[in-house]
């Protein structure tokens, strides 16, 4: 197994050849066509924006005016009828079939900037590119007095996929309305157009349902705990349950409008039948066990046994599929959700529904006999098909995680494939729409580097791997692959700064995977641009993970049962220095050249990376006891 891992590591290292220095032009995602021309356009002291008239273009003009006014010391005004202009935003009179609904042409000459598009969304994405052509100080939240130069370029650009999403889990930890707006503002810089809000789970119900007030009165709050989520002690009866919150329906309307003005759709998710403990705590009759009257919203204590397959639930967090009360409850929820979100889909979850409490339920057994259901997967399929009918009765389309394939897919369901690409491939072959969101490329809750530094999670997803995401598997009709998205689950994400850290830079990679033509993707070029955007994020005060500069640490055993540590770098061109003597290495210490055998009585390994004589990685300290465990030394 170790040999296979090392072979894969060597293959990855061979692919990741020397990263390029930051380019003069560093746009993420990389445009379809870009031609660099001689010269620069310098923004004048009075910047005149001329745009196609009409309310549909106003949000683009307002956005551009605000960005320029916030960061520069220039006067920015819009004059639709003026013959003079600095920046022109123009909708085509007839559609340009090349750029489609979200594409644009951008021309920067020594005299002005012109962006043309078929639709306002295209103008908006052209503006995002324009912002990236300006100096990094354009990200400042206070005016900067300087010369504002834009390189002369000609760009033609349009997205590869129509669905370019980020999922933000606001259930495990509640993120308020302003946090969600902040997340939207960051994602649109990289031409994402879909925000998937995971609104309900075992840890909190986050959306007001007026016909079911206990969902937020009880289901939105829990005991506050910190540490490693999933390992907490059960809450005591007297501990205050005051941690959490929810969005009122007015909040939702405000967020939907805010997103719309930035050409982002919001996909709501109500996760059922599993992950429903918050709902069951509010309305115990929704569960198939009488013990539910004693349940509370989960605060991070174990509720499932992950040591035994198929991972049985320790408490019943599933809705009862055999009760008509369940479907009446869901009808009320979906009615109100459908009225709040104009996006045509409602995501109804369907993932990780443990079946052991259903197996014990007399009501479920009776349902199986009555409906001729042969196993618990068909019980869930029965549930999903009924939920689909409810969703469609509200004028919406039904979407779920790939578990909804098991037992038989609902007739018109769209599938979001998270357990790899295979579920999405299977759904597409059955002529269902698919959004690819596989864990091994697109799960932003995974560690970005070594566990010695990163908040401990059960898997790792490095930037280079995220950049390899290809949403269309072989043997699939591309018309059924709507696109893809990256998911930020927040069990271990307690605040907005850490949400930023977990999202970026991997969201840069996913953005390019979903926008840029496959043939134009290039890791070396991409990482050069990433480093440029790190500097922009510093100006914008957006947190990002520097994990890409940290070494890849692989302990193993020699034939004589000694622990040997192999080090590699995700970004070539870095030098690794190390110590076993408890001191703190810099570039005067031993340089890593070949696998290290851990000295007999050493207590810890410390590692650091340098580039061109300057520290670039973080200091990593690993106890030898941890290296022994990782290597499998008995």
Instruction: Decide if 507 contacts 166 (C-beta within 8 A).
Output: yes
Distance CA 455, CA 173 (A): 16
Instruction: Decide if 563 contacts 596 (C-beta within 8 A).
Output: no
Instruction: Decide if 266 contacts 247 (C-beta within 8 A).
Output: no
DSSP character for 293?
A: G
Distance CA 171, CA 180 (A): 12
Catalytic hit among 58, 137, 352, 378 = 352
Beta-ladder partners of 597 = 564
Distance CA 34, CA 331 (A): 50
Beta-ladder partners of 91 = 117
The closest alpha carbon to 34, from 137, 130, 135, 100, belongs to 130
DSSP character for 547?
A: G
- E-strand stretches of 43-133: 46-51, 75-78, 87-91, 104-108, 113-117
Distance CA 456, CA 443 (A): 14
Distance CA 393, CA 432 (A): 19
Q: State CA 553 to chain mean position distance.
A: 25
Q: Which residues contact 614 (CB under 8 A, 6 or more apart)?
A: none
Number of helices (H) and strands (E) in the chain: give both, helices first. 18, 26
Instruction: Decide if 510 contacts 502 (C-beta within 8 A).
Output: no
The closest alpha carbon to 363, from 350, 378, 387, 379, belongs to 379
Instruction: Decide if 446 contacts 461 (C-beta within 8 A).
Output: yes
Active site residue 336: no
What amino acid positions are annotated as catalytic residues? 352
């Amino acid at each position: 197994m170790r040999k296979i891992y090392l072979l894969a590591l060597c293959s990855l290292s061979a692919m990741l050849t020397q990263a390029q220095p930051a380019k003069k032009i560093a746009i993420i995602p990389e445009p379809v066509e870009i031609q660099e021309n001689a010269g620069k356009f310098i923004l004048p002291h009075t910047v005149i924006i001329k745009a196609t008239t009409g309310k549909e273009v106003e949000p683009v003009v307002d956005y551009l005016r605000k960005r320029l006014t916030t960061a520069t010391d220039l006067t920015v005004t819009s004059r639709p009828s003026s013959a003079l202009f600095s920046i022109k935003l123009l909708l085509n009179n007839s559609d340009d079939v090349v750029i489609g609904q979200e594409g644009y042409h951008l021309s920067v000459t020594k005299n002005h900037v012109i962006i043309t598009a078929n639709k306002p969304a295209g103008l908006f994405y052209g503006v995002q590119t324009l912002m990236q052509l300006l100096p990094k100080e354009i990200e400042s939240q206070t005016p900067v007095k300087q010369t504002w130069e834009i390189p002369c370029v000609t760009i033609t650009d349009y997205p590869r996929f129509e669905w370019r999403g980020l999922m933000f889990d606001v259930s495990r930890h509640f993120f308020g309305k302003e946090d969600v707006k902040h997340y939207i503002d960051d994602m649109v810089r990289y031409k994402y157009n879909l925000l998937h809000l995971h609104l309900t789970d075992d840890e909190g119900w986050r959306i007001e349902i007026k016909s079911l007030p206990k969902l937020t009165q009880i289901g939105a709050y829990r005991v506050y705990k910190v540490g490693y989520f999933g390992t907490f002690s059960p809450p005591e009866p007297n501990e205050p349950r005051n941690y959490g919150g929810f969005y009122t329906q007015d909040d939702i309307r405000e967020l939907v409008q805010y997103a719309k003005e930035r050409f982002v759709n919001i996909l709501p998710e109500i996760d059922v039948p599993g992950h429903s403990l918050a709902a069951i705590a509010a309305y115990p009759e929704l569960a198939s066990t009488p013990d539910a009257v004693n349940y509370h919203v989960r605060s991070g204590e174990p509720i499932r046994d992950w040591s035994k397959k198929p991972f049985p639930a320790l408490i019943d967090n599933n809705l009862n599929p055999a009760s008509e009360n369940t479907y009446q409850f869901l009808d009320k929820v979906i009615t109100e959700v459908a009225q709040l979100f104009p996006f045509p889909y409602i995501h109804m979850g369907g993932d990780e529904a443990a079946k052991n409490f259903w197996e014990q339920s007399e009501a479920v057994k009776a349902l199986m006999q009555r409906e001729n259901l042969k196993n618990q997967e068909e019980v869930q399929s029965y549930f999903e098909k009924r939920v689909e009918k409810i969703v469609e009765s509200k004028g919406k389309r039904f979407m779920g995680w790939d578990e909804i394939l098991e037992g038989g897919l609902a007739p018109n369901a769209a599938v979001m494939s998270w357990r790899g690409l295979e579920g999405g491939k299977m759904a597409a072959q059955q002529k269902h729409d698919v959004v690819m969101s596989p864990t091994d490329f697109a799960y932003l809750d995974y560690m970005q580097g070594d566990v010695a530094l990163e908040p401990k999670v059960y898997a790792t997803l490095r930037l280079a791997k995220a950049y390899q995401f290809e949403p269309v598997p072989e043997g699939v009709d591309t018309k059924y692959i709507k696109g893809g998205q990256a998911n930020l689950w927040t069990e271990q994400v307690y605040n907005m700064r850490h949400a930023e850290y977990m999202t970026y830079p991997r969201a840069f990679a996913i953005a390019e995977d979903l926008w840029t033509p496959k043939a134009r993707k290039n890791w070396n070029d991409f990482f050069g641009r990433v480093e440029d955007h790190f500097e922009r994020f510093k100006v914008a005060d957006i947190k990002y993970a520097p994990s890409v500069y940290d070494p890849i640490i692989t302990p193993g055993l020699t034939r004589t049962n000694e622990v040997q540590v192999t080090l590699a770098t995700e970004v070539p061109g870095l030098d690794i220095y190390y110590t076993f003597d408890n001191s703190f290495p810099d570039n005067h210490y031993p340089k890593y050249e070949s696998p290290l055998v851990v000295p007999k009585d050493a207590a810890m390994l410390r590692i650091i990376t340098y580039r061109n004589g300057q520290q670039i990685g973080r200091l990593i300290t690993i106890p030898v006891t941890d290296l022994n465990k990782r290597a499998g030394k008995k």
